[in-house]
Each structure stands twice: as structure tokens, then as C-alpha cells.
Amino acid sequence: DAYLRGERERPHAAGGVVDVRALPPYRADDPGIVLWQGDITRLRADAIVNAANDAMLGCFRPNHHCIDNAIHTFAGIQLRAECAAVMDRLGRTARTGEPIVTGGWNLPADHVIHVTGPIVDGPLTDAHRKALADCYRNCLAAADARGLRSVAFCSISTGVFGFPIDQAAPIAVATVRAFLRERRPDHPHMTVVFDVFSDHDRSIYEQALHRPVRA
């Protein structure tokens, strides 16, 4: 049908596909950073980031509302096959913060950067904070190495993995800002989207983004 021939956008994506290059920056003095609320599988970007687990094969729990399931569902079975091939070559599970880059298959995004965030199942420690910052840095470095110019992040680790989002958002924002500041002279056109899902998460990210750009 028209969908399979690529003449029509994916029918599940209520609200349609959103091209991140058309989204304005959140702040004029913080160019390159966008805040967007909605389902990440709708985004047309060079890459979207999947909060995966260390097996990197998607989520196998039926009807589980994690981002891993959403991405694998709408990317199609080809994504799981590509992940399996990558993991076969790796020969081990992925380390926390170690990104794996695949195609986007049936998604509007060209690539998916899969990364496993830290699991917080006790008190939050500096090791958790550092591991989360590494996720953002390593994903951006992987995108940069492939010449990708727009990356949409979900809020890594703040769902099932238990990282409090009010603690995670300032780390995400500060790490991305630092990366863009370092790279911007070479790559002035890199755009990073913070994709939030709920109204609550949106207000947390707004607070983080209102902090001074050079904290």
C-alpha cells in the first residue's frame, strides 16, 4: 500500500512526522538545543537515541511502555536483526554508556544510537551521575564521528532504570552544552533535541534549560 511504498507517513504516528531541523532552539542564547515533547519515533533526525538495555536486542516484555519497545516496534524487525548482528560481532553485552549505532529502518530517523544508561536501585551516587554524563557524551561523539548533525535524546535512565529525572535533566543539559561548546567552532550546525514525554518531564527540562548557559 501507499505506506509500504513510502508515499505516506507511518499511520501509527498520530500528529505525523516532525523534522527536527524545523524546530526552533529553546533559547536564542543556547543555539542548537531544542526541547520537544512527544513520541521519539515521530522524529525525523539524523539520529534518535534509544535508552536500551545491555543485551541491545530490544525489549521482550509485551505491552511494556518503554522507549526501547516503541523504537523497535516502529523501526520494524530489521532493527532487531541489525542489533543482533552488531552484538554478535561484539561478542559480549554492551557496557553502560557504550553506544551502538544502527540504521533507523522504518523510522523517519536515519539512525538509532542505542545506549544503556546507569541503573539506580539505591541512593544516587557520583558514579551514577558520571555514567549518565558519559551516555550523552559518548552518543554525541558517535554521532559526530559519523557526520550526523541532528540527534534527539530521550531522557536516558529516568524510566525503568530509576534515575530521578530532576537529577538527570541538569546533567543531560550541562553535558550536551559542554559538548556543543567544544565542537561548535567545527560543527556549527549540530542540533540536539531533548525529547520529553510527559508534562512533568517537560517542566523539569524547562527548569534545567533556564539555568545559565555557562554554569
Q: Which residues bind ligand ADP (CB under 6 A)?
A: 39-41, 51, 66-68, 70, 117, 154-161, 195, 197, 201
Q: Please, which residues bridge with residue 113 across strands?
A: 49, 101
Cα 149-39-110 angle, rounded to 5 deg: 35
Least distance (Å) between residue 28 CB and ligand ADP: 26
Least distance (Å) between residue 131 CB and ligand ADP: 12
Based on CB atoms, which residue is closest to ligand ADP, 97 or 117? 117
What CA–CA distances, in Å, run from 160 to 117, 120, 176, 183? 10, 9, 23, 32
Burial annotation 61-76 (CB, 10 A radius, 16+ → b, else e): eeeeebbbbbbbebbe
Based on CB atoms, which residue is closest to ligand ADP, 51 or 101? 51
Based on CB atoms, which residue is closest to ligand ADP, 153 or 179? 153
Based on CB atoms, which residue is closest to ligand ADP, 80 or 183? 80
Least distance (Å) between residue 214 CB and ligand ADP: 27
Least distance (Å) between residue 199 CB and ligand ADP: 11
Spatial separation of the C-alpha atoms in residues 193 and 204, rounded to whole Å: 15
